[in-house]
Amino acid sequence: MTPQRASVDPEARRPASLPMQGRRIRVFDTTLRDGAQSEGISFSVADKIRIARRLDEFGVDYIEGGWPGSNAKDVELFEAMRRIPLRHAALTAFGSTRRAHVRSEDDAVLLDLVRSGARVIAIFGKTWDFHVTHALKVSLAENLAMIADSVAFLKQHVEEVIFDAEHFFDGYRANPDYALRCLRAAQDGGASVVVLCDTNGGTLPNDIAAGVRAARETVSVSIGIHAHDDSGCGVANSIVAVEAGADHVQGTINGYGERCGNANLCAVIPGLALKLGCDVLHDGALAHLTTLSQFVDEVANVPHNARQAYVGRSAFAHKAGMHVDAVTKHRSTYEHVDPESVGNSRRLLVSELSGGATVASKAALRAMHLDKRSAEARHLLKRVAELEREGYAFEGAEASFELLMLDANGELRYPFEVLGFRVIVEKRGSDAPTTEATVKLRVHGVERLTVAEGDGPVHALDQALRKALNRFYPDLAGIRLTDFKVRVVNVREGTAARVRTIIDSRTEDRSWSTVGVSTNMIEASWHALVDGVIYGLLCARDAGAAPEQTQVPDGG
């Protein structure tokens, strides 16, 4: 009989040294240039400066600011950045090789690049013979001269010139000898890096690796990779390129970029650092990756992608009861890296799929002891299932679940009691509608009746609620509403359908979401609003700030 072999802890199986332990890889961020070409993205000069400063703090090696001379905004950016010293990153200007049959010293694009004041200049040139003859309409020899001349001219004026070999992989597939001759021309001109660009984004990893190896055998300078994501392989292609010999990686934060976007540095960087052991950033920087990703989305005014690898809100979210039970015993059961290594955190989602382990783990986060097999845990799960049948969804409103858990355990001390509310919406003539809300509360035995106006029912209710509570809870001033979402739960019921509202709130160092459900949208919003305020005040109380009382609010 064959003896059973004991399973080995996944942590113990990991090699003492990773495949590329300590190998230095330089990160070239092009969010401000290539990323700004993404549909729906438009950065102001002030936006670009804010992002550049944050990228510099994060520790990227190059920040490509834009193409000076192509538009007034980029000219203004480079002028402004002369007065803003970067501590780590090299501000890089982007442009193209000289025009055909024009001397480099007379070429307007190259002169604008020099005048930008950037320490580093990156220029692109054609390496696909099809583009040379059909787009540029010049001879293959003239294109080689354009590359070498342009690099040599720029090298006289700046510290470093990077050559972006546009369409390299398409060119290498069509005419490998010519594509490689283009790289040699850039090296002969004085380029310190030749970047192999998958400009159309259609190359698969095996062909990326073959192209990088061929380039590595052809030139002695640093090899870079610039991948687009049109085939969904941008991140994989970047990592494969490094494994094949590249030591310079270009991409954008959150994968912004033309068409389907560029290689997402928020996945490339941790992949290189955590999976291969490469030296990518300074010590401790990786733990700020999630906040960097969120910051750039906020500046760009786009929603954060919850399912983004490593940095998304759902990247380490566990919903199924079996998964939660396993991951609380050992993270490696359902997590490929430690969430904290990239500045993210584990989330245990509560739903009808949850088991006792989920509520027990949630309770532990509040320093509560709740056995997963206890009657209290079963009762709480039953209550969650009942509420979800009514239309509640707690996986996106974890603060409401925490309040439900505290209440079920007899540990919730309400900071106020709701006695009632009223909302009046009035429209006269062509004027915009006005909304007035009246709120009646009891706080520490004192009844408060307050009236406030707002831009819509939720805003008016929020203003009236704050007006009633401010004198008792000064910390309420630090709580602000950041988002409000409404969804119809049972669409077939038409105007009598239930609606679910979710309100996102935050303080300077914490954010949370609460949910309300009703056939009346204003009442659903009120429930979510009150939950949000109660949760915020309880957090302040836990921090030693806010007082409490024991009355239970109606519908709170």
Locate the domains of the chain by residue range: 26-282, 317-389, 417-542
Rg (CA), the chain: 29
pLDDT for residue 548 is more than 50: no
Per-residue pLDDT of 20-46, as tens digits, reads 999 999 999 999 999 999 999 999 999
Return the number of other C-beta atoms located less than 10 Å from residue 350's C-beta.
26
Per-residue pLDDT of 526-540, as tens digits, reads 999 999 999 999 888
Question: Could you tell me the pLDDT band of residue 546, with boundaries at 50, 70 and 90?
Answer: very low
Residue 538, helix vs strand vs coil: helix
Query: What's the fold here for domain 26-282?
Result: TIM Barrel (3.20.20)
Question: Could you tell me the pLDDT band of residue 549, with boundaries at 50, 70 and 90?
Answer: very low
Q: What is the pLDDT of residue 200?
A: 96
DSSP 87: S
Question: Could you tell me the pLDDT band of residue 553, with boundaries at 50, 70 and 90?
Answer: very low
Does the fold of domain 417-542 match that of domain 26-282?
Answer: no
Q: How far apart are CA 519 and CA 498, in angstroms?
A: 4
Q: List, in order, residues 6 or more apart from 117 with CB less than 8 Å away.
A: 78, 79, 81, 82
Phi, psi of 96 (to 5 degrees): -120, 170
Per-residue pLDDT of 461-507, as tens digits, reads 999 999 999 999 999 999 999 888 888 876 556 556 789 999 999 98
Q: List, in order, residues 6 or more apart from 134 with CB less than 8 Å away.
A: none
* Burial bucket for residue 175 (CB in 10 Å: 0-12, 13-18, 19+): middle
Q: What is the pLDDT of residue 550?
A: 41
Sign of CA pseudo-dihedral 327, 515, 393, 382: positive
The residue ranking higher by pLDDT, 342 or 433, is 342
DSSP 111: H
Residue pair 421/461 in contact by the 8 Å Cβ criterion: yes
Q: What is the pLDDT of residue 353?
A: 46
Q: What percent of the chain has pLDDT over 70?
A: 85
Per-residue pLDDT of 174-208, as tens digits, reads 999 999 999 999 999 999 999 999 999 999 999 99
Q: Which CATH architecture has domain 417-542?
A: 2-Layer Sandwich (3.30)
Q: What is the mean pLDDT of the chain?
A: 88
Q: What is the pLDDT of residue 19?
A: 86
